[in-house]
Copies of this chain bind each other. A is one copy, B any other.
Amino acid sequence: LSVCILPGDGIGPEVTASAVRVLQQVCENAGTSLETASQPFGGAAIDTTGEPLPPATLEACKAADGVLLGAVGGPQYDAAARAGAPRPEQGLLALRQEMGLFANLRPSRLFPTLEGASPLREKIVRGTDILVVRELTGGLYFGDRREGDEEALDTLPYSRAEIERVAWTAFEAARGRRGKLCSVDKANVLASSRLWRKVIDDVSADFPEVEVKHVLVDAMAMHLVTRPSSFDVVVTENLFGDILSDELSAVVGSIGLAPSASLGAPDTPGVFEPIHGSAPDIAGTGKANPIGTILSAAMLLRFAAGMEDAAKSIEDAVETVLREGLRPFDLGGTAGTEDVTAAILKAL
């Protein structure tokens, strides 16, 4: 198994280092050989090469079986970007586009032993287990733009084919879960949302066993707070997915625990990354929570290598250490990156 590591910025190098140690151990347990190599990406790559996604990094990603990414960005790069420098985020967007990673899977569930970590009351949040499928290479992120000091413009284009392929991913996921799909749009205002809704309905004809509902994005932002446990799979366009999946990760109280998988065509390596950011304020302090990245490594084993048992063993180990009371800093505890990593390695 060959994994390309993109440590990125801030706490990225720390959390990916943890996850690599976990990958090494489960691959050893499974008798699978593992090859990892790090490549510069994001702000770190801007510092050394002047661009956030150097061609050699992209090559290495395409040649690997899967990519494990830390996080990108930091205040120094924001400042430089205002002066005309490229932004670390451009590397992330270019990576998604160049590799054709059109489906971003973000599972958010309440860890049974962490009900107390949710800002929501237990009776409301209990049982929440949602998979958000976010379209990742279309919409406002990749439409034409006009920058300007007096006027600016972004465009939100979607084609039937772009919606169809992510719809298939979502319907298939729903079929393998509890059979419910909630599609989120703003069809009462946006033309792209009306096309979105139509294509979802068309694709649903091929999945009679999946129950589909359409919900407006503003209503969904409410429902995620008032009744999160009533949803199964949620599919939506790029920017709505960005907003709603972050809201949801806050709802289940686990921004530091949440993994994600960005997938493309069957023969494309996927990119696996925690949903948290680069947290420059705690970089280098040893306080970063590596669990989001470790669970992303589990998704990598599942989707990039078909190693379901190995993936499950990581997820079980994470549940075990949390059940036994281990608490990283972001969950109000005192377990640092090393403590968490060691505990998970031990539980494996």
Contacts and interface: CB of A to CB of B under 8 A. Distances in A.
Interface of A: 73, 78, 87, 89, 93, 119-121, 124, 140-141, 143, 145-160, 186, 188-192, 194-195, 198, 217-219, 221-226, 239-240, 242-244, 246-247, 249-251, 255
Given A149-B195, A154-B190, A246 B226 contact: no
Given A222-B255, A250-B225, A154 B192 contact: yes
Copies in the complex: 2
Contacts of A154: 155-156, 190-192
A140 B190 contact: yes
B225 A251 contact: yes
A234 to B, nearest CB: 14
Q: Is the interface of A mostly helix, strand, loop or mixed?
A: helix
A131 B304 CA distance: 46
B191 A148 contact: yes
Interface core residue of A121, A147, A194, A225 (most chain B CB under 10 Å): A225
Given A151-B158, A151-B159, A226 B247 contact: no
B159 A87 contact: no
Interface core residue of A143, A151, A152, A240 (most chain B CB under 10 Å): A152
Nearest to A219: B246
Nearest to A116: B121
B198 A222 contact: no
B250 A222 contact: yes
A240 B153 CA distance: 16
B242 A152 contact: no
Contacts of A221: 221, 243-244, 246-247, 250
A300 to B, nearest CB: 23
